[in-house]
Structure 1
Amino acid sequence: MVRTLAIVLAVAAAPLIAAAPAQASPTDLGADFEWGVATSGFQAEGPPPDSNWARYAASGKTKDPYGAGPDFRHRYAEDIANAAALGVEVFRFSVEWARVEPAPGVWDETEFAYYDDVVRQIRAHGMRPMITLDHFVYPGWVADRGGWSDERTVDAWLANAERVVGRYAGDGVDWITFNEATVFLQKELTFGGLTLADAPQMLDRLVRAHRAAYDLIHRVDPAARVSSNVAYIPAAMGALDGMFADRVRDKLDFVGIDYYYGVSLDNVTAANAITDAFFDIRPQPDGIYHAAMYYARKYPELPIYIVENGMPTDDGAPRPDGYTRSDHLRDHVYWLGRAQSDGAKVIGYNYWSITDNYEWGSYRPRFGLYTVDVLTDPTLARRPTAAVDTYREIVAANGLPADYRPVARQSVCSLADLPRSCLTPPSVPGVSGTGSASSTGSR
């Protein structure tokens, strides 16, 4: 019923919308624009050490067992070389706290040597590391003490941060303290690492830890940039920012955004995210424009970096509507260029992810530029998707051809930016009417 009402409202509203003046299509995102790819430790490294997420994966609460994992731990040289062949400048990964400190105060030099070589390989291939200090994972001994419900976790986390930052200071690193702090909280609640009563304390502790880490990084690695990327949840960012981002705004060097889906009057398929069926969500590329403009207005002093963006397919199968990962890449880059031309200081973009990985309980959502069949292929071969060539072309051109027009139709009244998205939506040159499709209407 809600979906039907939304479609009716969209159809009724479309003729009343005043389109913005036509502009030329963006072609070049600027000489300083940074292109990258991303991955994370637990999701990609392979059989994990004892941690909260190793326990969740073994608990039977997840849809798939972890199994062998994609084995970045031993195949990182191949994945880094594949990224470099795209022409990108940034390779994002995480240094897993559970690997380098398997017991309180015990530092594993073998695991640090592994990360040393990851950084060395990234730099040798002409890329810059973007290191995440915490991508939802903490050691088993921290879990035994209550995880983020325990006050001691802040100091323990900062001790690890100091060790890691000190080791890689001067290597041109961008630092992400916490990946998606509010989603981290949600995952901990979902999988039992935290009770609802402890949720406010976890948020307070994440804020304290980030603020202290920001000062630590700028003391030890003064030239570095620091952020904590937000998960862009359409129509909810006001409340979510109040939990974390607004509280650390003065301790951010850029706004890091993870954008995956939008919500609008003619697209409420984002409801599938509730069951992690991300492949059933209809992509809404123009939502990345509205997300960028939202933060450009909210935090005008900060540049914007898209830390994660990608499209999942259902176990690698083509989407039923024919929309491809190449379409998705081009369309999102198009709308980032539009955001730039409308005043948003967008400085970079990372594709998630370089390979398929363990999507927090399941291998079914496939995001990788390179496919890895963890559950069926014992060789864990990296097989390129068509989007590899597409991304290489985008990076080489630093954007899109001047005559490019989005494949996915523009949304009607994005909930990310009301009422602007309804009253003055950005126009697409050569496409008549807002909400129309530049290809088949089924998209």
Structure 2
Amino acid sequence: MSATRRTVLAGLAAASAIGAAPARAAIRRRPMPEGFLWGAAISAHQSEGNNVNSDSWLLENLPETVYADPSGDACDSYHRYQQDFSIAKSIGLNCYRFGVEWARIEPEPGQFSQAELDHYARVLASCRAHGLLPILTYSHFTVPRWFAMRGGWEVPDSPDLFARFCDRTTRALGDQIGMASPFNEANIPLLIKVLRPIITAEARAKRDVMIAAAAKATDSPKFSSILFADPDRIDANLLEAHRRAYQAIKAGPGDFPVGITLSTQAIEAVGDDSVAPEIEQMLYGGWWDAVNASDFVGVQPYFRLRYDAKGLVANPPGTPMTAAGYEYYPQALGEVIRFAARKTDKPIYVTESGIAADDDTRRIAWLDACVAEVERCLDEGIKVHSYIYWSLLDNFEWTKGYRQHFGLVSVDLKTFARTPKPSAHHFAQMIKDRA
């Protein structure tokens, strides 16, 4: 039996294992609203592998890199997407949030690969064939290397180039898309700005050295990548890029909602004269206005930040932490759903909610706590339309490489065999309990 055949069978066996898991005593829950979406999320670069024409691939492989590992083959989801869909379906999910990769579709400026568009058409068709609504992200942080070499999102015509890509991609794929967002966490540069005071000078210097090395390696006057760029130089262009991309995507084909997913960390005020309102404005800028001109908002909380009159309040000793190094605080999900309901009348989706944990019992507790937060918000009359966990697979976690594990499913990085964790079985039962 060939290695490829063996790993395919291993993946299929993993998928069927969820259905065979020992039954857990049913918990009485009222059903979720009709049409509620249970899902998992993933991104193209973090799972597909060998995204060699992207800015991130270059940065990961520089001698001066700040990335712990190169992405390499990742989870090989580029070839094994059907296994991933099968596992998602076996959990009881009815949607799957994933992305296309701009660097594959447009590897050189204005040169669109029909072969790659055909590939993603097959991916979308397979997603639907597995009974999963495809929720598509057009850009999840990465961009083509040529785009980064000319200045990335700092260049005035960057919105036009992104809209051109969204137009071409939608014309090829639009009739298969269920929902979409132009960007993942469109305000991610503003979160980086918020967190800037706690990033050490040494870490900032290392990032600057890496970007300078990328510019030298590509002989480009200004290499710029979204996770390392000056937020003040790119946020206005990202807002305009979303506006133009929204128009391009809505032109069709297809008739599906196009919204915005935001990094929505819980911002809490401590004491009198807290600077929390200023921090909140810094985190969101003009993005709530953009939400109100779009079709929905996706909230994506992972932690909370507390501020008094002097600034960020440190966590007290003994605060429970996740394996990603921030506070274990699933209640952030309920806080940001309520915040979003105050900011917009647009439909609210939980498009990411996850925990980095090596002890899977903590992931099970996280799922219980987060779904309970969604249920409380529903009981309060807030219309929440989904709970989408990050992530289906343990995958490439940007500068942390493969050292953080968010997945419901572990992946052997040599054989690519997928093994559902107990949390995957638990999630499946949770969904069944609320059917």
Same fold (TM over 0.5): yes
Give the distance between the partners of 1:197 and 1:371, measured in 2 at CA. 32
Give the distance between the partners of 2:128 and 2:284, measured in 1 at CA. 37
The structure 1 residue matched to 2:252, chosen from 206, 214, 220, is 220
Query: Does the 8 A contact of 1:36 with 1:350 survive in 2?
Result: yes
Q: Report the Cα offset of residue 185 of structure 1.
A: 6.2
Give the distance between the partners of 2:80 and 2:244, measured in 1 at CA. 34
Give the distance between the partners of 2:347 and 2:362, measured in 1 at CA. 29
Indicate the residue corresponding to 2:359 in structure 1: 318
Give the distance between the partners of 1:247 and 1:86, measured in 2 at CA. 36
Give the distance between the partners of 1:360 and 1:34, measured in 2 at CA. 27
Q: Which amino acid aligns with 2:145?
A: G
Indicate the residue corresponding to 1:151 in structure 2: 156
Give the distance between the partners of 1:197 and 1:35, measured in 2 at CA. 34
Query: Does the 8 A contact of 2:174 with 2:252 survive in 1?
Result: yes
Deviation by residue 1:208-255 (Cα, 9 ceiling, x = unmatched): 111122222223256311112111222166224542422313322112
Q: Which amino acid aligns with 1:389?
A: H
Matched, 1:328 2:366: yes
Matched, 1:249 2:291: yes
Q: Which amino acid aligns with 1:140?
A: R
The structure 2 residue matched to 1:366, chosen from 381, 397, 405, is 405
Indicate the residue corresponding to 1:343 in structure 2: 381
RMSD over aligned CA atoms reads 2.8
Indicate the residue corresponding to 1:284 in structure 2: 329
Query: Does the 8 A contact of 1:27 with 1:337 survive in 2?
Result: no
Q: Report the Cα offset of residue 206 of structure 1.
A: 0.8
Structure 2: which 5+ runs fail to align?
1-27, 194-203, 212-223, 268-275, 308-312
Give the distance between the partners of 2:180 and 2:250, measured in 1 at CA. 10
- Which aligned pairs between 1:140-179 and structure 2 lie closer than 5 A? 140-179=145-184
Query: Does the 8 A contact of 1:182 with 1:240 survive in 2?
Result: no
Q: Report the Cα offset of residue 168 of structure 1.
A: 2.0
Deviation by residue 1:111-141 (Cα, 9 ceiling, x = unmatched): 2222111101101011111110110011011
Query: Does the 8 A contact of 1:311 with 1:328 survive in 2?
Result: yes
Indicate the residue corresponding to 2:417 in structure 1: 381
Query: Does the 8 A contact of 2:177 with 2:254 survive in 1?
Result: no
Moved more, 196-205 or 137-146: 196-205
Deviation by residue 1:347-377 (Cα, 9 ceiling, x = unmatched): 1111111111111122111011111143xxx
Q: Report the Cα offset of residue 398 of structure 1.
A: 2.6
Deviation by residue 1:185-214 (Cα, 9 ceiling, x = unmatched): 667995642699953341111111111222
Structure 1: which 5+ runs fail to align?
1-24, 400-443
Q: Which amino acid aligns with 2:359?
A: P
Secondary structure in 1 aligned to 2:53?
coil
Query: Does the 8 A contact of 1:303 with 1:345 survive in 2?
Result: yes
Give the distance between the partners of 2:236 and 2:384, measured in 1 at CA. 29
Deviation by residue 1:331-350 (Cα, 9 ceiling, x = unmatched): 11011100111122111111
Secondary structure in 2 aligned to 1:136?
coil
Give the distance between the partners of 1:42 and 1:336, measured in 2 at CA. 29
Q: Which amino acid aligns with 1:285?
A: P
Deviation by residue 1:249-305 (Cα, 9 ceiling, x = unmatched): 33221121112223469x955999xxx975343422222111111111121x11210
Aligned residues: 361
The structure 2 residue matched to 1:124, chosen from 118, 124, 129, is 129
Distance 1:197 1:148, change over 3 A: closer
Give the distance between the partners of 1:146 and 1:134, measured in 2 at CA. 17
Query: Does the 8 A contact of 2:397 with 2:404 survive in 1?
Result: yes
- Which aligned pairs between 1:8-47 and structure 2 lie closer than 5 A? 27-47=30-50
Matched, 1:391 2:427: yes
Give the distance between the partners of 2:397 and 2:342, measured in 1 at CA. 32
Give the distance between the partners of 2:294 and 2:405, measured in 1 at CA. 31
Distance 1:26 1:340, change over 3 A: farther
Distance 1:87 1:270, change over 3 A: farther
Secondary structure in 1 aligned to 2:352?
strand
Deviation by residue 1:42-88 (Cα, 9 ceiling, x = unmatched): 11111112211111211222112223211111111101111111121
Identity %: 29
Query: Does the 8 A contact of 1:269 with 1:280 survive in 2?
Result: no
What's the TM-score, normalizing by structure 1?
0.75
Secondary structure in 1 aligned to 2:340?
helix
Give the distance between the partners of 1:133 and 1:280, measured in 2 at CA. 29
Indicate the residue corresponding to 1:293 in structure 2: 338
Give the distance between the partners of 2:68 and 2:37, measured in 1 at CA. 35
Give the distance between the partners of 1:343 and 1:243, measured in 2 at CA. 27
